Structure 1
Amino acid sequence: MSTVSRLLVPYITAREGEEPESHLALRATFDRAGRSALGYWDESAEDRDPRGVLWGRCSQLIGRDGLPSGRPRWRMIHPARQRETMTQLHCQICARPTRTPQGYPFLAPAAKDVPRPGDILRTAQPPVCLAHLRLAVEQCPHLQKGYTALMVRSAPLYGVIGTPYQWTTQGIKALAGTDTPIPYRTAELRWFLASQLVRCLQDFTVVDLDGLTTLNSRA
């Protein structure tokens, strides 16, 4: 677990010195169906997720302990580490498993209305293990404004957040991106560079954080 100025640095937080791949590494290519698509000149299987979506490359600074090192770039998420923890449903802070007999703990910023059974929530924030729930709430500026703790039993993959591209007569051009998730099986994902993986939280219970952290202390 890394700390800077006594603050917990989440595993998924980008660090100074970790840099994205140059735009020049991208090219126009064709997918398996023969349709035009975005790709890398030296593309490998690791560059795409199991649904075939291309992911943004970014270097990683990993210490001897196997964890990211360097000063944190707060508010910036490392795409590979976010994808890793969201895929495996591991803790966004320590990268360890989060599964409990009741489900997976997620923290969501407070909304106008408290989520109700039957609601479907979409999130790019990986779960948080029981050991780090309280620290996350105490130190995350967004959660300090209010939060909802959820125990999630079903969280299927939904899609990705990233940057759309297009081919022009001058070459490949990046378009303005948004934080709106693009669902899988959408045609525009052929020309998309993903940076965050999104899941649907669709079977959950709103829980009391104090009760969950007390449960962890007894484990």
Structure 2
Amino acid sequence: MITRPLPYSPYPRSSGERASGTRPADAGLIPFVTQREGEEAAPNNLFLEKTAVRQHRLRYQDEDPRDRDHRGVLWARCSLNPVDGRLQPTGAPQWKLMHPLRQRLTMQAMRCQVCAQPAKTPLGYFFLAGPHDIDTSEPPVLTSQPPVCAKHVRVAIRLCPHLRRDTTVFLARSAPLYGVLGVVYGYGYGYGQGGVHVVACPDSPLPYGHPNLDTFLASQLVRRLTIYRVVGLDELANVMGQVT
């Protein structure tokens, strides 16, 4: 099973904070991967190119090498807002959306989805999941959520109501790339369906090497947790003491 995007929302102020006028230091923190208002999908100029082996390959009419990942899969385009003095994206957050490029870059480089710094710790990488996001009894264990650095594990849990209800913390020593989430394109025939359009929206990610990737438009990179352990919240403080 695979985790869905974390529905981050602004940190709720408690009655004590309202009375004193103080707020936690992380109250205004916005995860790096969160899409911002003003960051929009690029105009659709996709087409299917016929290859030498009589198959088709999805392409942009003005394709750039950066449009494909290191495995050759085509990625959805989304504009980028200017960054601030801390090199963080600007614009009001769209809390339930992850920016395709920022998700891809952090997941590929194993950087923290909150601050974009390296997420590796002496014990491995932290991955977070909410209730019912991952069933470890049904392998493979897959996630599209980039890791979180030790500094921001507790912060991410506090920021996200979904996680605060019942957080699962995975500490993984091995999390190889698995594949991509996205949609399959093809030709449409019939009234109102001419040209190239989406023909399938798989619920599960396609693994690298899948034959449908030639006509696939990716939006999220997925890793497979292989060597990992689940860290209970009651032992999280002890584990954090070992990695910080």
TM-score by length of 2: 0.80
CA displacement at 1:96 relative to structure 2: 0.4
Secondary structure class of the residue paired with 2:169: strand
User: Which of structures 1 and 2 has the bigger CA Rg?
Assistant: 2
What is the CA–CA distance in structure 2 between the aligned matches of 1:86 and 1:164, rounded to whole Å?
22
User: What SS does the corresponding residue of 2:58 show, helix, strand or coil?
Assistant: strand
Deviations 1:145-183 (A, max 9, x none): 211111101111111001111123511011352441111
Aligned letter for 2:181? I
Deviation readout 1:6-54 (Å, 9 max, x if unpaired): 342110000000011112x211114576621111001111111111110
Match of 2:71 among 51, 65, 76: 51
Does 2:143 correspond to 1:123? Answer: yes
Aligned pair count reads: 213
Q: Is the 8 A contact 2:103 2:146 kept in 1?
A: yes
**Shift in alpha-carbon separation, 1:213–1:173, aligned structure 2, 3 A:** same
What corresponds to 2:158 in structure 1? 138
Partner of 1:17: 38
C-alpha change, 1:113 and 1:78, in structure 2 (3 Å) is closer
Question: Quick one: distance in 2 between partners of 1:112 and 1:48?
Answer: 28
Separation in structure 2 between the aligned mates of residue 179 and residue 101 of structure 1, nearest angstrom:
34
Partner of 1:191: 215
Contact 2:181/2:205, CA 8 A, preserved across alignment:
yes
Q: Which has the higher strand share?
A: 1
1:133 counterpart SS class: helix
Secondary structure, in 3 states, of the residue corresponding to 1:212? helix
Query: Which of 22, 26, 32 pairs up with 2:46?
Result: 26
Note the residue ranges of structure 1 that are not aligned, 5 or more in a row: none
Give me the whole-angstrom Cα distance separating, in 1, the residues matched to 2:72 and 2:133: 36
Does residue 174 (structure 1) correspond to residue 198 (structure 2)? The answer is yes
Partner Cα separation in structure 2 for residue 51 and residue 99 of structure 1: 23
In the aligned structure 2, how far is the partner of 1:72 from the partner of 1:181?
26
What runs of 5+ residues in structure 2 fail to find an aligned partner? 1-8, 12-26
CA distance in 2: counterparts of 1:92 and 1:13, whole angstroms = 9
Question: What amino acid maps onto 2:157 in structure 1?
Answer: V
> Which stretch of structure 1 is more off in the superposition, 174-183 or 197-206?
174-183
**Within 2, Cα distance between the matches of 1:47 and 1:159?**
16
Asked whether the equivalents of residues 134 and 213 of structure 1 are also in contact (C-alpha less than 8 Å), the reply is no
Q: Bigger CA drift: 161-170 or 189-198?
A: 161-170
How much identity, in percent, do the aligned residues show? 42
Distance in 1 (CA, whole Å) between partners of 2:76 and 2:181 is 11
One-letter identity of the residue aligned with 1:129: C
Equivalent residue number for residue 75 of structure 1: 96
Q: Could you tell me the TM-score, scaled by structure 1's length?
A: 0.88
Structure 2 distance, partners of 1:86, 1:173, is: 28
